[in-house]
Structure 1
């Protein structure tokens, strides 16, 4: 639950605090994305558009439940997922590429 801030500085301190938590969670999510690359057969498995839509549906519902804007949440998740797919594609390619 958000606190009521008494100044712009207080708002920014709270945003900075949340940013630290969000980045820590991104790092944790990224480590699981890296692990997932090992289990996927090909780049289509990495892209997994059906799974992307499942995640989007889930987070939109979660946003609604938690009082977040579902449209903003979807946009953030689509950008994050696209970036993680690029990371995972690179990691997957490195896994399947023979070493010389």
Structure 2
């Protein structure tokens, strides 16, 4: 991480990170679409045990990377919820 000398430089760095984050979310979305093919029903899509395993994993990663695990959990729960909705749509298309 670089030590920024101005707010403009901070914003440029954040914009660069946002670009990378959106690309990674796009990639994750494509994997979610693939996952829908392997799920037999809506409960498989929701996969509450998998959700909790992911939350546990990212909280650990947050601690290892010196970021608030509560913040990371909240972000991930929101993201996972959105991706579950997306996967439900994909799953319904596949199974109609």
TM-score tier, shorter chain, comes to over 0.9
Alpha-carbon distance in 2 for matches of 1:47, 1:92: 11
Question: What's the CA shift for 1:53?
Answer: 0.2
Which ranges of structure 2 fall in alignment gaps of 5 or more residues?
none
Question: What's the CA shift for 1:67?
Answer: 1.2
- Give the ranges of 4+ consecutive aligned residues of structure 1 lying more than 6 Å apart after TM superposition: none
Alpha-carbon distance in 1 for matches of 2:38, 2:31: 11
Q: Taking structure 2 as the reference length, what is the TM-score of the superposition?
A: 0.98
**Matched residue pairs, number?**
96
Alpha-carbon distance in 2 for matches of 1:82, 1:25: 17
Which whole-Å deviations, capped at 9, do the CAs of 1:58-79 have from their partners, x for residues lacking one?
Answer: 0000010011111110000000
Q: CA RMSD in A?
A: 0.5
Q: Taking structure 1 as the reference length, what is the TM-score of the superposition?
A: 0.94
Task: Indicate the residue corresponding to 1:35 in structure 2.
Answer: 34
Task: Indicate the residue corresponding to 1:18 in structure 2.
Answer: 17
Task: Indicate the residue corresponding to 2:3 in structure 1.
Answer: 4
Task: Indicate the residue corresponding to 2:60 in structure 1.
Answer: 61
Question: What's the CA shift for 1:93?
Answer: 0.5
Which whole-Å deviations, capped at 9, do the CAs of 1:25-65 have from their partners, x for residues lacking one?
Answer: 00111110000000000000000000000000000000100
